[in-house]
Amino acid sequence: MKAGVITFLGSNCDDDALYALGDVLGADTRRLYYYETALPELDLIVLPGGFSYGDYLRCGAIARFSPIMQAVREYADAGGLVLGICNGFQILVEARMLPGALLRNDCVQFRCQWVHLRVENADTPFTRGLTPGEVLRIPIAHNEGNYFDRPEQIAALNARGGVVFRYCDEHGEVTPEANPNGSLENIAGIISERGNVLGMMPHPERACEETLGSADGMRILRAIAASVAQRVGT
């Protein structure tokens, strides 16, 4: 699998993503920069976490205008896989590549902690091999992860299987207490209508080895690699 990780001004999880994909997963990785206007041949593009452009205006609001984002949009429009993690999710929402908005956490605090995620949709290129209802343990680190959209849009998102992950307790129960940021319906990750663009607030790259506290994030990255392998027939 060939994976590109974008470094925006203010990214701070790009090295983490490159390590998880390259050193742990064994993918052929390449660092991409915000000012690039053309992409190499890739199977996956990752928009990593961080504080692109200092989170001025809104998280991701300036990064969406980076030169590389036009190429990312064209890549996604052609069916390429795109994964936005934390700030990357915020950028994808600001670029309207994913619906909704990410507001400030309802606790008005930056939250850096382990959370549990329930897999809601296992029929995606990002969750291949996972089971609906199973629970993953992955960390978060954000101040604006409170997912919001209009009621009719949330209903449409649910109807098409657009919610991929929800915050839950260790037993898989979706409860208010398990929600770290106030996201509507405990939403932690969503996918585009076409099914090739995923945004999630938790950091799978920070849960890629047991020595980090969990390797559950690697299951997501391996699912992507398996989907790519099937696409190319290897």
Average pLDDT, whole number, for the chain? 97
**What is the structure's pLDDT at 41?**
97
Q: How far apart are CA 63 and CA 184, in angstroms?
A: 25
Domain segments of the chain as ranges: 2-232
The active-site residue, picked from 59, 86, 168, 208, is 86
**pTM for the complete prediction?**
0.96
Here the tokens at position 160 are: 């098409």
Query: Is the pLDDT confidence value at 143 over 90?
Result: yes
Here the tokens at position 16 are: 């983490």
Using one digit for the tens of pLDDT, what is the confidence trace for 185-198?
A: 999 999 999 999 99
DSSP string, 38-97: ---S-SEEEE--B-GGGG-SSTTTTGGGSTHHHHHHHHHHTT-EEEEETHHHHHHHHTTS
State which CATH number among 1.20.58.220, 3.40.50.880, 3.40.640.10, 3.30.1490.20 fits the domain covering 2-232: 3.40.50.880
**What is the structure's pLDDT at 231?**
82
Strand partners for 119: 165
Cα–Cα distance list, 159 to 109, 121, 167, 191, 213 (Å): 32, 12, 19, 12, 34
Of the candidates 88, 69, 4, 6, the one whose C-alpha atom is nearest the C-alpha of residue 43 is 4
Residue 203 bears catalytic tag: yes
- The residue to which tokens 């989907």 are assigned: 227
* CA 95 to centroid of chain Cα atoms: 14
Instruction: Report, as an integer, the average pLDDT of 58-69.
Output: 96
Residue 208 bears catalytic tag: no
Using one digit for the tens of pLDDT, what is the confidence trace for 77-98?
A: 999 999 999 999 999 999 999 9
**Gyration radius from the chain CA atoms:** 16
**What is the structure's pLDDT at 147?**
98
The active-site residue, picked from 13, 94, 168, 203, is 203
The active-site residue, picked from 94, 120, 144, 205, is 205
**What is the structure's pLDDT at 234?**
52
Strand partners for 5: 31, 46
Residue 205 bears catalytic tag: yes
Here the tokens at position 204 are: 């799978």
